[in-house]
Chains A and B, each alone.
Chain A
Amino acid sequence: MTGSAVLHWGLLAVHAVLAVAFVLAAARLVKGPRAQDRVLAFDAVYLNAALQIVVFGMRVADPGYLEAAIVMTLLGFTSSSALAKFLMRGEVIE
């Protein structure tokens, strides 16, 4: 078994595990009884998606996908802190 094959199958397995985590977090996003549960689940969903993009970039050996993941985490942090502010105060910009 060459290193290339180990990488190929191993990273595919990582994709599968991350996809299951994504689905579980999305289930909480749908189910979550209150708004804060949904925001927390949304946080986990975008994090899992960013990690999927990182792993995909590794699989196709293109470091350009890392930038997409960076932008995604930045936007995710901004949106989840804006949603937390909204839940706290009732409006985002006062």
Chain B
Amino acid sequence: MAPAMPVWAAIIIVLLAIFGASLALVGAFGMLRFRSFYERVHPATLAATLGATSILAACVLYFSLVEGRLLLKALLPMIFIPLVNPVASMLLARAAMSRDYAKALAGQPAPGSEDAEWQRKASELAAARAEAARHTVDDEPPHEAST
């Protein structure tokens, strides 16, 4: 059972925590509902940034009131999660982009892919790149794009 606490503090803590949890819910719902991968990256960061921050802010307030002194242990994940989770999302989006690009370059769109718009753009890009490669002067070393 939770320790005794003034009602105003309890209400502030619960409101902050419910706000963060509902942001996590909205993020998960959007991740289930959006159609392409690149749209799904966006709601996934909702829970990681504002959701985690407000739940951990509630945590800082709560433990500071319970212990009777400023307890900043929750400040570590509060800084760490919003800093690091979007980085992971960005790495993942770049990996997905390079995979789609390689597929379009090979002329084989992913079977059952929902990302039709992106596939079209990537195949246009691949065609433009092939066209540019055709016009390079022979004595120049071929420009190798990083994969």
Residues on A facing B (Cβ under 8 Å) = 1-4, 6-8, 10-11, 13-14, 17-18, 20-22, 24-25, 27-28, 31, 33-34, 36-37, 39-41, 43-44, 47-48, 50-51, 54-55, 57-59, 61, 63, 66-67, 69-70, 73-74, 77, 80-81, 83-85, 87-88
Contacts and interface: CB of A to CB of B under 8 A. Distances in A.
Contact of A58 (B4, B6, B59): B59
Contacts of A80: 88, 91-92
Contact of A14 (B7, B21, B41): B21
Contacts of B21: 14, 17-18, 21, 51, 55
A88 B98 contact: yes
28 contacts: A1-B7, A3-B5, A3-B7, A4-B1, A4-B2, A7-B5, A7-B10, A7-B14, A13-B18, A21-B25, A24-B28, A25-B31, A28-B32, A33-B114, A36-B95, A40-B37, A43-B88, A44-B28, A44-B47, A50-B81, A55-B21, A58-B63, A66-B74, A70-B76, A77-B87, A84-B94, A88-B91, A88-B99
Nearest to B17: A14
Nearest to A15: B21
A73 B76 CA distance: 11
A28 B67 CA distance: 40
Chain B interface, DSSP helix/strand/loop, else mixed? helix
A40 B81 contact: no
Given A36-B37, A73-B81, A80-B92, A10 B113 contact: no
B28 A51 contact: no
Interface residues of B, number: 63
Which of B27, B66, B76, B92 neighbours the largest number of chain A CB atoms within 10 Å of its CB?
B92
A68 to B, nearest CB: 10
Given A10-B10, A14-B21, A17-B24, A87 B92 contact: yes
A45 to B, nearest CB: 9
Given A3-B6, A17-B24, 15 more contacts: A3-B7, A11-B17, A36-B99, A37-B40, A40-B92, A51-B20, A54-B74, A58-B17, A58-B58, A63-B67, A84-B92, A84-B94, A85-B95, A88-B98, A88-B99
